[in-house]
Amino acid sequence: MKAEEQYVSNSLFTGGFNSVTRAHLMDKVIDSAVSHPQMAGAKGSACAMPGCDGRAMTDERGNDIHPCECRFKICRDCYLDALKDTGNCPGCKEPYRVAGDYDDDGDFDHNRWLFETQGTYGYGNAFWPKVTQHDDGGDRGMLGDGMPETSDKPWKPLTRRTPLPAAIISPYRLLMLVRFVTLFFFLAWRIKHPNDDAPWLWGMSVVCEVWFAFSWILDQAPKLHPVNRTTDLQVLKEKFETPAPANPTGRSDLPGVDFFVSTADPEKEPPLVTANTILSILAVQYPVEKVSCYISDDGGALLTFEAMAEAASFANMWVPFCRKHDIEPRNPETYFSLKGDPTKNKRRSDFVKDRRKVKREYDEFKVRINGLPDSIRRRSDAFNAREEMKMLKHIREKATWMADGTHWPGTWAVAATDHARGDHAGILQVMLKPPSSEPLYGLPEEEQMVDFSDVDIRLPMLVYVSREKRPGYDHNKKAGAMNALVRASAIMSNGPFILNLDCDHYVFNSAAVRHGMCFMMDRGGEDVCYIQFPQRFEGIDPSDRYANHNTVFFDGNMRALDGLQGPVYVGTGCLFRRFALYGFDPPSITDYLLPKRFGNSAALSESISIAEFQGRPLADHPAVKYGRPPGALVVPRPPLDPATVADAVSVISCWYEDKTEWGDRVGWIYGSVTEDVVTGYRMHNRGWHSVYCITKRDAFRGSAPINLTDRLHQVLRWATGSVEIFFSRNNALLATRKLKFLQRIAYLNVGIYPFTSVFLLTYCFLPALSLFSGQFIVQTLDVIFLIYLLIITLTIIGLAILEVRWSGVGLEEWWRNEQFWLISGTSAHLYAVVQGLLKVMAGIEISFTLTSKSAGEDNDDIFADLYIVKWTSLMIPPITIMMVNLIAIAFGFARTIYSEVPQWSKLMGGVFFSFWVLAHLYPFAKGLMGRRGKTPTIVFVWSGLIAITLSLLWISISPPKPTAGSVAGGGGFQFP
């Protein structure tokens, strides 16, 4: 079916907004070859009450249900009104039966239906059993020691935390101590033994070495207590999904999870990639009724909207297929691209047939997604031409139209007033309605393409959100978009836990949420603010030239922080406790009763205590001080009603955050391009702990820039955010006492590390200056100096080997990380310091953009982007370092060879350190060469200019001395 035909206008919602701001709720009917009762606006009969435009009540399969024997069709609201007013059916005027079972032909159990639709699950304006707390912090229905009254089984932990083996960690700590002591004596010796022949060279080197020692301590100290953690999913199932006295039915007692996916520009973030991420979320191994997915489109693009609707339609087949055959990974693009035998470990005989059908449907799905830009353009051109004909004049504003013939309320392809990227209405569309509480099985193969008769075909709720944007408001980029999702989701689903993903990061392990929930639901889990999963990337070149995998950080530094107060938040793949995001301290009896500035939404305010209660672990162990009784979350949740959705629309308006604490204390924190680090820091600063969860099968995977320039710009953005943090109140030096000492050092290092670039750049020039001047950083190569240097080098190697052992990082990965540390330190980090200082001190914001690009030559090569050379000013310092050191090596050799008294020791010292610099810059040099060594002309131009400038500068500073022969009549010059 064509994309243009997929959307039929049903209603346009406005209301509750002033004249300045106006928000729209589109309720579109998504019609596809595979129908599903959860699809937004699914076909159904209209309510027969006069003046009502609602839809008649339906069962879980979307069929009409009739509360009266006369089969009068009525919507839920009118039915409840009739019960309240007269108790009679508006059709036959006879009393409704209020108890008993009805026939199977469209009727239902009245009491059960009322219970489910009036529900008690997780909405801000819904009922939830109040928790009466005793003075000891325990809940009613629990014994004084925190154990449930019905506990008759031995307690089992959900997680295990184990320090690293003493055979590894003890030598590791010993080497750290040896290196620390050696550095102290080395620096003391260097200060006491200046080089009188070149005091400027000695002074610069000592200052740099002191800073390097300081930065090494900041980086190494938090690594004293690395730990390993494991989870037990079987115990999780036994505790929360197995029949028990408190849960006789065995219905899931796990808390709800809201997934957040953010995107901003469909041109830079392809809708197909985002759609695959959404599909992987909808297919996660977690109770369907406990999962909700929210997609934030901060660009307000119709292309993204229609792509998500296509994804919701394809999910009807993809999600049941994954459940039926236990598919991994559940990203269709990745799954169908896997090499190897797809039938491995597949037991069902119909797998091959089902896979073939689903693959064919996915290929058609991709064609529809890729064809959406042209489809939307042609549709809009046709509607605009029609409007011009009606008005008999040329219309200046070219609107973007939806398939139902109405204007898209978001951003138009040609920007116009109220329809630009920074000026458009808020949009909220429920694309997949909340699922029923009971399993819904599919139809046999005779009635649909794939036999899902024994598969639960329910889908999680899917909501498209584009917050309102207006000129004059600071929308705070991604952090503002995430906070809008927090508010909207609190009203619509109020999952006590939030898992956020970038649009190019998908669920690689469908059980990842269960692993994270083990930590949240275990003893001590009430003090955990978030679970950070490592970032894993696909599409990286085999040699990982620019350390894109960043395994030293994710498998080393983060694992070490897990032994302290917890890892930092890195922006994606993180499972948050909603209550912690609201800016509260770790749980206590009265914390959540304190007044907070959340805005004027009553539904949002009411949802806070509900989310806090639902996020508690089970009170099944004395160590759990603030737990909840078993079975508290087994009740179903009600369907969405217009009032609830209207409340959700109101909280995504651009004015909602005025005079509130959003972005300051509540939600994602504003004021930095690295809002992720600041948000995590604020939680740790309030006393929360975080956990690092490494699973055997990667939890999430995503994409990373493999091109040199794109990688440098990525690092530039991170480093600029760190400089902003250092000059803000989020500096770890200003932290509260709740932040542990080593955790404070780790956060201090986050803000300081970019400043190392100033000293690193200077130190990279010192070998060249030594070769040019004929001097060295020490006056003579003293034995003591060499011994200290040897010990420092050996401890570096020893620490690296031990880190490789306990972190699992390969030696090649470690070396690539060292190389890119110098590359980024002499380019992106240096520019970040300049950029950050200009912004903080002068309010000047500058950006380093790309100026030229040479296209890749091989479109079939998946690593073709690796060889693309995009010129940027970030490349100037590393190029300068390489050229200066190469010229200095040649100059040093020439001067030493032709010198009357050659000083080979000083030459070797300078040459050794120059080669040390050049070896680290080797990947950078390869990046400039492109494919087959074709270096762009601009590189030669810059190299020539730098070489000529340095040569002239040196001649002017230290001109060659004429010999006696030259004075007498033209003998020549000698090197100084």
- Residue 674: give its domain's CATH number: 3.90.550.10
Q: Could you report how far apart the first and last alpha carbons of the chain are, in Å?
A: 82
Please count the structural domains in the chain: 3
Of the CA atoms within 13 Å of residue 235, those in its CB half-sphere come to 19
Q: Looking at residue 11, what is its pLDDT?
A: 31
Tell me how far apart the alpha carbons of residues 382 and 74 are, in angstroms, rounded to a whole number: 39
**Rounded Cα distance, 964 and 962, in Å:** 7
Mark which of 704, 723, 756 sits at the end of a domain: 704
Do 211 and 298 belong to one domain? Answer: no
Q: Do 25 and 72 fall into the same domain?
A: yes
**Which pLDDT score is estimated for 934?**
61
Q: What is the mean pLDDT of residues 33-37?
A: 57
Worst-scoring range by mean pLDDT, 299-303, 679-683, 950-954? 950-954
Instruction: Examine the pLDDT at 254 and tell me if it is beyond 90.
Output: yes
Average pLDDT, integer, range 84-88: 82
- Flag whether 537 is in a domain: yes
How far apart CA 326 and CA 349 sit, in angstroms, is: 14
Asked if residue 475 is part of any domain, the answer here is yes
CB neighbours of residue 790 within 10 Å: 11
Let me know if residue 97 belongs to a domain.
no
Query: Which residues constitute the domain of residue 621?
Result: 231-342+350-704
The β-bridge partners of 456 are 441
For the segment 463-473, the average pLDDT, to the nearest whole number, is 94
**How far from 444 is each of 269, 347, 449, 552, CA to CA, in Å?**
38, 19, 9, 50
Domain boundary among the residues 62, 86, 110 is at: 86
Q: CB-side exposure of 30: number of CA atoms within 13 Å?
A: 26
Give CA–CA dist 510/530, Å, rounded.
Answer: 19
The confidence score (pLDDT) of residue 26 equals 43
pLDDT at 955: 59
Q: Is residue 50 part of a domain?
A: yes
Is 269 annotated in a binding site? The answer is yes
Q: Residue 102: inside a domain, yes or no?
A: no
| Res. 111 pLDDT band, cuts 50 70 90 | very low
Beta carbons within 8 Å of 413's beta carbon, 6+ residues apart: 376, 377, 380, 398, 400
- What are 575's strand-pairing partners? 499, 531
Q: Which range has the worst mean pLDDT, 125-134, 318-327, 456-465, 855-864?
A: 125-134
Q: Do residues 483 and 305 lie in contact, with contact meaning Cβ atoms separated by under 8 Å? A: no
477 belongs to an annotated ligand binding site: yes
Q: Which residue has the higher pLDDT, 58 or 300?
A: 300
Share of the chain above pLDDT 90, in %: 49
Q: How many CB atoms lie within 10 A of CB 734?
A: 10
Kindly list the catalytic residues: 298, 676
The highest-confidence range among 146-155, 171-180, 776-785, by mean pLDDT, is: 171-180
The pLDDT value given to residue 141: 33
Q: Residue with structure tokens 């089969």?
A: 71
Confidence of residue 656 (pLDDT cuts 50, 70, 90): very high
How many angstroms separate the Cα of 538 from the Cα of each of 504, 505, 541, 572, 713?
A: 10, 10, 9, 15, 19
Residue 564: phi and psi, rounded to 5, are: -105, -115
Structure tokens at 389: 């004909």
- What is the pLDDT at residue 377? 94
**Residues across the chain:** 976
CA distance 100 to 401: 50
Q: Are strands 291-297 and 257-263 parallel, antiparallel or unpaired?
A: parallel
Average pLDDT (819-847) is: 86
Query: Is residue 501 located within the same domain as residue 589?
Result: yes
298 is annotated as contributing to ligand binding: yes
325 vs 870 pLDDT, higher one: 325
On whether the CB atoms of residues 496 and 579 are closer than 8 A, the answer is yes
DSSP state of 395: -
Q: d(Cα 257, Cα 284) in Å, to the nearest integer?
A: 11
Q: Percent of the chain beyond pLDDT 70?
A: 81
Instruction: State residue 643 phi and psi, 5-degree precision.
Output: -65, -40
Domain boundary among 674, 704, 734: 704
Please tell me whether residues 235 and 364 are part of one structural domain.
Answer: yes
If asked whether residues 518 and 667 sit together in one domain, one would say: yes
| In a shared domain, residues 698 and 770 | no
Model confidence over 167-209: pLDDT tens digits?
Answer: 888 899 999 999 999 999 999 999 999 988 888 889 999 999 9
**Structure token pair of residue 641:** 């009603």
Q: What is the pLDDT of residues 294-330, one digit of tens each?
A: 999 999 999 999 999 999 999 999 999 999 999 999 9
685 & 797 share domain? no
Domain co-membership, 516 together with 374: yes
Q: Which residue has the higher pLDDT, 108 or 470?
A: 470
Burial 746-783 (b: 16+ CB within 10 A, else e): bbbbbbbbbbbbbbbbebbbbbbbbbbbbbbbbbeeee
The reported pLDDT for the residue numbered 104 is 40
Is the residue at 290 inside a domain?
yes
Q: Rounded to an integer, what distance in angstroms lies between the CA atom of residue 441 and that of residue 455?
A: 5
- Residue 948 or 605, more confident: 605
With bands split at pLDDT 50, 70 and 90, how would you rate the model's confidence at 66?
confident
CA separation for the pair 573, 507 (Å, rounded): 9
Element (H, E) at 368: helix 351-391
CA distance linking residue 652 with residue 714, whole number of Å: 29
Same domain, 183 and 208: yes
Alpha carbon separation from 197 to 193, 770, 771, 891 (Å, rounded): 12, 12, 14, 20
Residue 365 lies in a domain: yes
Distance CA 943, CA 940 (A): 5
- pLDDT for the residue 973: 33
270 and 201 in a common domain: no
Is 693 within the bounds of a domain? yes
User: Which of the four pLDDT bands, split at 50, 70 and 90, describes residue 44?
Assistant: low
Q: Based on the domain organization, do 237 and 214 belong to the same domain?
A: no
Q: Which residues pair with 530 in a beta bridge?
A: 576, 690
pLDDT, average across residues 708-732: 92
Mean pLDDT of all residues belonging to the chain: 82
- Candidate from 11-15, 190-194, 385-389, 854-858 with smallest mean pLDDT: 11-15
* Token pair listed for 818: 């060292």
Number of other residues whose CB lies within 10 A of the CB of residue 441: 14
Residues 218 and 243 in one domain: no
Higher pLDDT, 639 or 764: 764
